[in-house]
Each structure stands twice: as C-alpha cells, then as structure tokens.
Amino acid sequence: MSSSEELYSLLVPLDGERLIVPRACVAEVVRYTPPERDPGSHDWLLGGYNWNGRVLPVVAFEGVLGNEMPSITGRTRIVVFVATSGKLKTGYFGVLTQGFPQLVRVNEDVLKLEAKDGWADNAPVFCRVKMINEFPLIPDLEQLESMVADESSQD
C-alpha cells in the first residue's frame, strides 16, 4: 500500500483492547439490549439479538480470546458485522463493544506490525499492529464467523 492509498477503518473499543477493521465490514452500531441466550453455548456467545427482523448471534470478543467477560455499562453497544463466508443464515453477526467505534484512515505510514502471537492458536486474530499510539488487534472475521456459526442455533 503506498502512502497515497488509504483504507477507512474503525477502531472498535473492547474492554482493555481495541480491534481495527475495515469500515466496509460494519453494517451498523446499535444500542445494547440483552441478547436471548442460547442454552449450552460458550459464555462468549451472548445469544441472539433482534435486528431488522433478523436474529443476530452476538459475541464478546474478550471471551473468545479467553479473557474475562466485559461488564455491561451505559456505553455498551453492539457492532453489527457483515458475514462474508455464507456460514451464517442471517448474513450478519454482532460483537459487543464498549462505546462507539472511531473512524480512522490508515496507510502503511501509520500502521506497523507489532506481534503475530500472544493469544491462543485458535483465537480469531491475525496480528497486533502499532498505529501511532494505539496497539489494536486485527481480527480474523472469517474465523470468528465460523466459530459463531458452529456455536449458534440458526433457526
């Protein structure tokens, strides 16, 4: 990517971390309402959230990484991601966030590889990058989508 090539991205605030994702992956950010829990699923799968006539599976990314589950506060929102692999019938899934994502423009001048490890082998993370004074994770959204599809009931 040349310095003139920029990608509009979102910094998604988690509890103690941030994700950086392309803006095009996100359909909407919605107010948090407790999802309807799927019995027998992992703790990180919070349940189904009714969005535009669809029931979206919602996850806590912190839990997927094996970290402590985040607290629900007045700033908690759900980021609705576009599901691209076709594994989810709804075509979307939600990730719990601790506030509104921040729009940023990134290019190779501001984005540098920081680490390729530091989390479990099956964690849906490509790497950690350094972006000025931030150290966000680049999630593997396709792997996360597969994990959600395997865990959620898609009735």
Q: Is 47:36 a contact under the CB 8 Å cutoff?
A: yes
Residue of 124, 60, 57 lying closest to 93 (CA atoms): 57
Distance CA 129, CA 132 (A): 10
Q: How confident is the model at residue 10 (pLDDT cuts 50, 70, 90)?
A: very high
In a domain? residue 117: yes
Q: Is the pLDDT of residue 9 over 50?
A: yes
pLDDT, the chain, mean = 91
Q: Is residue 127 part of a domain?
A: yes
- Is the model's pLDDT at 100 over the cut of 90? yes
Range of the domain at 91: 7-151
Residue 1 falls inside a structural domain = no
Q: Are 78 and 32 in contact (CB under 8 A)?
A: yes
Tens of pLDDT, residues 29-60: 999 999 998 787 889 999 999 999 999 999 99
Residue 44 located in a structural domain: yes
Between CA 120 and CA 100 the distance in angstroms is: 27
Residue 83 CA to residue 120 CA, distance in Å, equals 23
What CATH number has the domain bearing residue 24?
2.40.50.180
Domain tally, the chain: 1
Measured between alpha carbons, how far is 57 from 145 in angstroms, rounded to an integer? Answer: 10
Is there a domain that residue 104 lies in? yes
pLDDT band at 155 (very low <50, low <70, confident <90, very high): low
134 located within any domain: yes
